[in-house]
């Protein structure tokens, strides 16, 4: 028995030591950190890959490959031919789509990414205004590694709740779900900087419209919820209660932060359909550009009312725009499906319903505090 055990251990060690699995040595591989997809000529796909290479003797460098082919993997093969190192996808963190391609549909690409086990589901996706190629290949003075820079940019903004979260998982979740469309941030090059410029609205995987970054706030308000968001809004004309209209200036700009929001949907009529949307917001007043005494409870109450009114006006404008372009990014359809028994909802049926959907907005806004100096 002892002898037998010895042989088993020996054989086991033999197999495990001789049969090493595939190795990926850092110095011999190029890490693809960011991939940008553009619409190429004649139905082809143009792919720009940002590859980080680690060299033992010199500083690590970033190389950008651009290739065109019919499939995304085809361009990968082409890029490998140009590279001295083996290209791997395990560190891919961002995928960008050119807006022309986004308008033609991106769902094939997101499905391909999901299919590949090397690609993490937590990578970020975004749309680029114009071509991703020109955005990535531009020589920025202060940006050393464009792949890492864009990743940090998106990560930071999504965590700070300044734009919609668009991980690969969320994007494909929304694409495959009935009655919820996907949304991605839009990136744009502004001279030496890259900035988030808005939110792209999709309908069944095709980009159909976009919202400004300010309107993106309302989108996130209904679609998601806030834990520590920030917003600037301007009270204008009729929104301002008469008691606060002291100095005839017809605008009160306000900034809030640490916003916490809660939403409550209710379907009140399933034939139209009509929704009741009740939002509860709690926030801290950060800045106010008029001489209003925010220490006075009466003023604060009036201010809160005015802000609620202002926000619901803005929100209904954003919802109307989304209905116009036919993109249900708020997930009303998903809610409808879950609230109506045996709805037998199909995409076509919901498209019809969504166009005429009515949303009654009711916002309850509370100013919690206003800093340490009144």
Binding site for another protein (CB under 8 A): 1, 4-5, 8-9, 11-12, 15-16, 19, 21-22, 90-91, 117, 120-122, 167, 169-170, 172-178, 180, 331, 334-335, 338-342
CA 113 – CA 119 distance, rounded (Å) = 6
| Two tokens, residue 311 | 């926000």
| Two tokens, residue 81 | 């031919």
- Please report how close the Cβ of residue 262 comes to another protein at its closest, in angstroms: 14
Read off the DSSP letter of residue 78: H
Residue with Cβ nearer another protein (21 or 58)? 21
- Please report how close the Cβ of residue 339 comes to another protein at its closest, in angstroms: 7
How many helices and strands in the chain, by DSSP H and E? 11, 13
| Two tokens, residue 94 | 């961002």
Residue with Cβ nearer another protein (40 or 179)? 179
β-strand 251-269 against 229-236: which pairing, if any?
A: antiparallel
Q: State whether the Cα torsion 364-324-171-198 is positive or negative.
A: negative
Residue with Cβ nearer another protein (99 or 174)? 174
- Please report how close the Cβ of residue 317 comes to another protein at its closest, in angstroms: 25
- Please report how close the Cβ of residue 182 comes to another protein at its closest, in angstroms: 11
For residue 270, is the peptide bond before it cis, meaning its omega torsion is within 30 degrees of 0?
no
Residue with Cβ nearer another protein (100 or 145)? 145
- Please report how close the Cβ of residue 338 comes to another protein at its closest, in angstroms: 4
Alpha-carbon 259 to chain mean position: 19
Pick the closest to residue 97 from 168, 164, 155, 9 (CA basis). 168
Pick the closest to residue 184 from 159, 204, 201, 206 (CA basis). 201
Residue with Cβ nearer another protein (198 or 205)? 205
CA 310 – CA 235 distance, rounded (Å) = 7
- Please report how close the Cβ of residue 22 comes to another protein at its closest, in angstroms: 6
Residue with Cβ nearer another protein (221 or 311)? 221
């Amino acid at each position: 028995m002892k002898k037998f055990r010895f042989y088993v251990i020996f054989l086991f060690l033999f197999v495990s030591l001789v049969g090493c699995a595939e190795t990926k040595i850092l110095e011999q591989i190029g890490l693809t950190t960011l991939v940008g997809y553009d619409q190429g000529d004649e139905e082809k796909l143009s792919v720009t890959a940002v590859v980080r290479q680690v060299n033992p003797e010199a500083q690590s460098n970033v190389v950008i490959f651009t290739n065109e082919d019919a499939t995304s993997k085809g361009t990968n093969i082409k890029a490998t031919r140009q590279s001295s190192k083996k290209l791997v996808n395990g560190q891919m963190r961002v995928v960008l789509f050119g807006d022309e391609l986004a308008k033609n549909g991106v769902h094939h690409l997101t499905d391909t990414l999901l299919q590949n086990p090397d690609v993490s589901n937590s990578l970020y996706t975004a749309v680029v205004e114009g071509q991703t190629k020109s955005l990535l290949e531009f020589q920025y003075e202060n940006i050393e590694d464009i792949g890492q820079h864009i990743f940090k940019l998106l990560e930071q903004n999504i965590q700070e709740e300044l734009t919609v979260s668009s991980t690969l998982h969320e994007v494909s979740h929304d694409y495959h779900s009935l009655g919820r469309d996907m949304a991605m941030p839009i990136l744009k090059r502004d001279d030496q900087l890259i900035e988030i410029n808005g939110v792209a609205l999709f309908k069944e995987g095709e980009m159909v419209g976009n919202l400004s970054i300010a309107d993106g706030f309302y989108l996130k308000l209904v679609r998601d919820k806030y834990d520590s968001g920030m917003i600037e809004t301007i009270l204008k004309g009729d929104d301002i209660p008469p008691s606060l209209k002291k100095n005839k200036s017809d605008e009160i700009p306000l900034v809030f932060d640490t916003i916490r929001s809660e939403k409550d949907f209710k379907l009140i009529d399933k034939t139209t359909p009509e929704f009741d949307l009740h939002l509860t917001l709690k926030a801290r007043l950060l800045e106010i550009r008029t001489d209003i005494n925010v220490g006075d409870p009466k003023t604060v109450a009036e201010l809160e009312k005015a802000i609620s009114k202002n926000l619901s006006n803005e929100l209904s404008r954003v919802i109307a725009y989304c209905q116009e372009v036919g993109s249900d990014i708020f997930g009303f359809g998903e809610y409808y499906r879950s609230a109506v028994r045996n709805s037998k909802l199909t995409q076509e049926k919901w498209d019809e319903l969504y166009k005429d959907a009515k949303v009654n907005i009711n916002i309850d806004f509370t100013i919690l505090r206003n800093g340490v100096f009144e």
